[in-house]
Chain A
């Protein structure tokens, strides 16, 4: 029963959030701030994780190719496929759920317990629209850019690993990266990213917005935002994969 009530409250909040902003100029300003907070500030962690993961995937592939019948270009091909299809959109989104999701929930939750949201409401402003819509919009625009960046860095990381370890030559690795390329995998990854971006920001926004109590509850809401977002990302990963790839 509580679960159904929560879904109902989440849907109502989203209806409130997806209304025309009170003032376009203020919305654009909020959007710019959220581009920086949710997107630009995440570039570092995305870069480090993608670069190293790409390198690890390439090395592991190289060590697992024992048979002479499997061409070495499989290393480049596998690294590319894993980065594009699963690692960049899903794992990076899970990492962003931890970083961005907890930040959104604690920011909005603190505003709730310190009456800042009440202050917005009595000024005649729609707080859900003012606080949550720019975050959802920013993440849905910026996350695909981060994910493409992650894909490129991961593949590059694999190349660096091959050059350093000498497990494959540059030409063979790049030949593998270019082999059997299906452009739809990028489309599939970007569709997933946009859906995951919506899940992260809307669920975290909801958890923060509905906090009752004090700092302990804000902490709990922040944790729940990460847990719920992560679970939903995995569930929707399965659903979208089934829908788009089969």
Chain B
């Protein structure tokens, strides 16, 4: 079964999966841009932590920025945008299992221990 992937990602993926000298030099420019983006996003992460917002808003902001940074590392440093379907499917399964794991604490809300 094919996964829908936008054309721009496919094009980037084709560039990233090509290992000719010219392509590797193109990779290096991309790595430097990603590095700068990660540095800037780290500064932004620290800066927004000083905003006077509620915990939920602060949590949402922090996780959003961390997810963007994580996507950059996964996509470009770990070459996921040009990776084979076998790896994409391993990660899809892992993501589903991870989300289930993160929601397990919610089961505690149904726990009636101490309510009597």
Say whether A and B bind each other.
Answer: no
User: Interface of B with A (CB < 8 Å)?
Assistant: none
